[in-house]
Structure formats: structure tokens, C-alpha cells
Structure 1
Amino acid sequence: MTFSQSIKNCFSNYATFNGRASRSEYWWFALFNVLIYIFASIIDTTINSAIFYTISALALFLPTIAVSVRRLHDINKSGWFYLLFLIPVIGAIILLIWFTKRGTIGPNQFGDDPILE
């Protein structure tokens, strides 16, 4: 999946928490988030405000959670495991390891393999 396909797919599934997301879809969208936050921060620093960062954070909140849950589904884990991010440091490390793992080959309980579709 390319950068633009990933962004299009994540926004078309804005609040879709079922199904699966491939590694490339997740990581391209994560890169998109970082770029948007950097751009918004630069603009906010220039105009001495926090409005653009706040708007971008609100706009990206649901699609980021949704793609993260679908990514967990790809490795055959429940989306509720995303709440591990609430555990300082350890939770983030566990999620990082899981998000970098190869997804289940073929269909699993959450749907068909996103790479084969």
C-alpha cells in the first residue's frame, strides 16, 4: 500500500473498528500524522497560537484509533489491547512491537488478509 492509498483508506474508514489493516497502511498513516503535527506546530508557532495543532489532533483522533485497532486485528489480537498505551512506557513498547509484527497470513477471526485483497 502506498502513502496516498493509506491516507485515503484511513479516512474512508474514519471510525471503522472492524476489519484488518496491514503494516504499511498503519505506518504510512503514522508518518502522515507526524507530518501534519509538525506542519501544524510550525504554523502555530508562527502565529503564536495553538489552533491548528488542536484542530489537526481532533481531526486525526478517531482515524488513528481506528487504524490502530484494525492493525491489532491483523495480528489476531483484540482491539481492546490498544488500551495498553495507558500503561506508561511498557504499554507503548508492547504496542510498538505488535504494530511491527507481520499480520496473520490468510483470514483470521477479524477478516481476510488485507495484503491479499
Structure 2
Amino acid sequence: MNWYLDVLKKYATFSGRARRKEYWMFTLISFIVSIALSIIGAMLNFPAIGYIYSLAVLLPCLGVMARRLHDTGRSGWWILLMFIPIIGAIALLIFFCQDSEKQTNAFGPNPKAFA
């Protein structure tokens, strides 16, 4: 849960680097919360709850995606690949699964060194 909260604390931070664990734990918890809110919204006949949550975590999600790309040595602008159907999503998935650059890169020191 700390990984999720850490990303929310860095609400719109697009600089620095994010480890794989930070990105994937945020994604997992966000997915679980989204599913739970969708179920609750369906039971209360108020589906907007899920949409409100999705809108609330949009900037933190983009921020952690950019920091994850920085960790692999890529610019955050690579996020725009998501607008290319199928191929863009596959490319981003591969980038997000790659290991960190071991050394300090243009975006900062390796976050694994501090863990």
C-alpha cells in the first residue's frame, strides 16, 4: 500500500525515476480499487464513482509512467505510444517490464541503490 500512497504523494511529478515495483504496485492497487468502485457504483446505480476515481488518478498514473520510462533511459514522451493501437500498448508494456539502467542516467540516480 505504501507504493500506492508514494505515487499519490508525487501527484504530478514527472521528473526522476520509478522502479518497476513502484509502477506495478500502483497499477495493481489502482486496478483493484477501480474494480471495487465499479461494483459499488453498479450496486448503488451510480456508475460515475469509477469515472471520478479514474479522473482523480490520471495525473499520478501519467507521472509514474513517465518516471518508469525515465528509469529505463527513455523520455516520458514515449507515453504517447499508447495512442497507436495494439503496437503502442505492446511497446509500452515491454518498456515498463524492463529492468532499470544500473548507472545514473540523465533523469537521476538509480532508485534501486536507495532501497
TM-score normalised over the length of structure 1: 0.94
Distance 2:80 2:50 in 1: 24
- RMSD of Structure 2 on Structure 1 (CA): 0.8
Pairing of 1:1-117 with structure 2 (within 5 A): 4-117=1-114
**Cα distance, 1:20 vs structure 2:** 0.2
How many Å separate the matches in 1 of 2:79 and 2:85? 13
Q: Residue 77 of structure 1 aligns to a residue in which SS?
A: coil
Q: Deviations over 1:4-31 (max 9, x none)?
A: 2211210110000000000000000000
Report deviation, 1:106. Answer: 2.2
CA distance in 2 between partners of 1:74 and 1:102 (Å): 8
Q: Share of identical aligned residues, percent?
A: 42
Q: 2:48 corresponds to which letter in structure 1?
A: I
The total of aligned residue pairs comes to 114
Segments of structure 2 that go 5 or more residues without pairing to the other structure are none
